[in-house]
Each structure stands twice: as C-alpha cells, then as structure tokens.
Amino acid sequence: MSETPSGAAQQTPEQTPATTPPPAYTAREMMAIAAGRFIKDGDVLFAGTGVAMLAAAVAKRIHAPHAHIFFETGGIGPPLDELPMAVADTRVMSYSNLNAGLVEAFSYVANRRLHTIAFLGAAQIDKYGNMNSTVIGDYRHPTVRFSGSGGACDAGSLASAFIAFMQHGTRKFVEKLDYLTTPGWLTGGESRHHAGYRRGGPLAVVSDLGVMKFDEVTKEMYVAEHYRGVSPEHIAENTGFAIDVSRAVETEPPNAEELRILREDVDPQRLILG
C-alpha cells in the first residue's frame, strides 16, 4: 500500500460544495472504518499489514467483539492490545488462542468449514479485482520492484472472500496489470471457477475515495459508495478503466465514538493512521 496518507479533507476544493464543513477525519480513518463495517461478529479474518489491522481492530472493539483475527505467520486470535507493525510482530503472538506456523495459518485460510475473509493491499488493481504487488514493467527487468505476494495470492486463491485496500489513482486502478499476483475474478464471469477455484474472490475494494464492489454477473467493478465530499465522478476520473457509478451512494461518515476508539484505543501512536 502507499505510505502517503491522503486525507479526504485534502480533495480538490471544487469537489466539496461550500456548504459542507470540511470532514474532521482523514481518508485513512474513513477507510479503516468503512472496511471494519464489512466485518460481522463471529467472522474469521485474515489480516495483512497496515490499514487491514486498523479495520480488524476497530471492528473488534465496536460491533464484532467475537470476530477471530489471525495472521499468515501463524498467530491465531490475538487480542491486539497493541497494534502490530507487521504480520510477524510479536504482538500477533501474545495472549493469542494459539501460536503455530505458516502451514497451520494456511490451513485456516483454506479451511472448508470456515468463512474466512482476507484483507489485502496491492500496488495495482484491475476491473476484475486482480491485483499486482510484484513489479512495474517487465517481470525479469522491472522498473519498480515491490515486496511480492507474501500471502496475498494465497488468500486471494484460498479464502472465502477478500477485501482490498487501495489508494485511488489512474496508475493504481489500471486497465491492465503489469503482473497478476493475486487472483480476483480473473477475466470476469465464470473464469475464476474455470481456473480451478471453488470459492473466494474479491468482495469489495476500499479506497481513500470510496467503496467499490463487483457486479454479480459480469464481475466488473462498480462504485458502490463515495465518501462525503467526494463525488462519484471524481472516483471515475481517478480510475484507469471505465467504471459504473450509477449505483453509488454516500458512505455514512465515521461517528465520534468510532473515531475516538480508532484514535485513542487502536492506534494512539498513529503508527498506521499516519
């Protein structure tokens, strides 16, 4: 994910009508809360690094106290009293249900009894929710090298569903990925099934501008929600492929209690909030 926090309050002025007071929260805070709202009490969550941890931690403290969080490293069910800086942070192994390793963690990601939702980030995403976290340019001679899959491709392949975090922009929401690291809906329609997957796929994309979902039949991305102060057209302009905005509604802004929990309880050092 991009390391640059970009606040909704920093959107271009013409996007915000003069009558609307500037939102008293950042885009990253909105993202964490918007994503956290997808989490249901009792869900089993596979969290990656960054905003994913905020979303999981905030949901667990607000409306999903019985959600189970686990990490690909093998940390199963930590309470996250302190925010981990990486999925291998000792904070994912303290006071947990149990500690194991990667084999065990992926046996929960893939487990057919569990409804496992993964939270993932990437450098690029396409209209079918396929993601790139490997390279820009030619694979053998890249102009930019990223971290690589880690467990993202595995979660995209094996989990029941995944939610992606992205910074919006035409270089990130692209027509064609430089490298397909994590499988989304592949080429749309039934293609994911034909590739050999029997479940999973992207549920939503939470960006700094809004929330995108995927059409049930075509599996193409559409704008489902736009944050307050951001127009659906602004999202379309910042998307590198044609995107349907006709179904977009305004996102409920974070309330004072959600913000208090996020700022004072979840990330008081602003390690991820920035």
Partner 1 sequence: MGERNGLDGKLMTVAEAVKRYVRDGCQIAVGGFTINRNPMALVYEIARRKVRDLHLVAHSNGQALDVLVGAGCVARIEIAYGGNGRFAPTCFRFRKAVEGGEVLVEDYTNNQMTLRFLAGALNTPFIPSKSGLGTDVLQQEGFPPEIRDGDKVARKKVHVMADPFGHADDDVALLPALTPDVSLIHAQQVSTDGTVRIKGLTFADLEQCKAASAVIVTCEEIVPECYLRLDPDQNALPPFLVDAVVPVPYGAHPTACPRFYDYDPKHLNLYKEVAKDDAKWAAYLDEWVYGVESWDAYLDKVGGAQLVRIRANTVAGYAPGLDRR
Q: Which is nearer to partner 1, 95 or 237 (CB)?
A: 95
Q: Least Å distance between CB 182 and partner 1? A: 7
Q: Which of 45, 58, 87, 224 binds partner 1 (CB under 8 A)?
A: 87
Residue-by-residue DSSP string for 135-185:
EEE-SSSEEEE----TTHHHHHHHSSEEEEEE--STTTB-SS-SS--B-SS
Q: Which of 6, 61, 111, 146 binds partner 1 (CB under 8 A)?
A: 146
Which residues, 6 or more positions from 92, have their beta carbon under 8 angstroms from its beta carbon?
71, 73, 75, 78, 80, 84
Q: How far is CA 26 from CA 10, 123, 134, 164, 244, in A?
A: 9, 21, 28, 18, 25
Stretch that binds partner 1, among 14-22, 145-153, 202-210, 250-258 (CB under 8 A): 145-153
Among 29, 72, 225, 258, the one annotated catalytic? 72
Q: By CB under 8 A, is residue 182 in contact with partner 1?
A: yes
Q: By CB under 8 A, is residue 4 in contact with partner 1?
A: no
Q: Which of 127, 192, 219, 234 binds partner 1 (CB under 8 A)?
A: 192
Q: By CB under 8 A, is residue 142 in contact with partner 1?
A: yes
Q: By CB under 8 A, is residue 6 in contact with partner 1?
A: no
Q: By CB under 8 A, is residue 27 in contact with partner 1?
A: no
Q: By CB under 8 A, is residue 152 in contact with partner 1?
A: yes
Q: By CB under 8 A, is residue 23 in contact with partner 1?
A: no
DSSP state, 210? Answer: E
Q: CA 8 to CA 5: how far, in whole Å?
A: 10
Q: Which is nearer to partner 1, 76 or 163 (CB)?
A: 76
- Within residues 54-83, the interface with partner 1 by CB under 8 A covers 72-75, 81-82
Q: Least Å distance between CB 15 and partner 1? A: 28
Confirm whether 104 is a catalytic residue: no
Q: Which is nearer to partner 1, 146 or 241 (CB)?
A: 146
Q: By CB under 8 A, is residue 269 in contact with partner 1?
A: yes
* Contacts of 210-219 spanning 24+ positions with Cβ under 8 A: 210/168, 210/235, 210/248, 210/251, 211/34, 211/251, 212/243, 214/128, 214/129, 214/185, 215/244, 217/189, 218/188, 218/189, 219/128, 219/129, 219/185, 219/188, 219/189, 219/191, 219/192
Q: How far is CA 135 from CA 19, 87, 147, 175, 179, in A?
A: 43, 22, 8, 16, 6
The answer to whether 173 and 236 have CB atoms below 8 angstroms apart is: no
65: which 2 tokens? 């106290």
Q: Which is nearer to partner 1, 173 or 179 (CB)?
A: 179
Q: By CB under 8 A, is residue 92 in contact with partner 1?
A: yes
Neighbours of 268 (CB within 10 A): 12
Q: Least Å distance between CB 269 and partner 1? A: 6
Catalytic positions: 72
Q: Which spans of this chain sit near partner 1 (rule: CB under 8 A)?
A: 1, 3, 49-50, 72-75, 81-82, 84-95, 99-103, 106, 109-110, 130, 134, 139-154, 157-158, 179-183, 186, 191-192, 194-198, 269-272
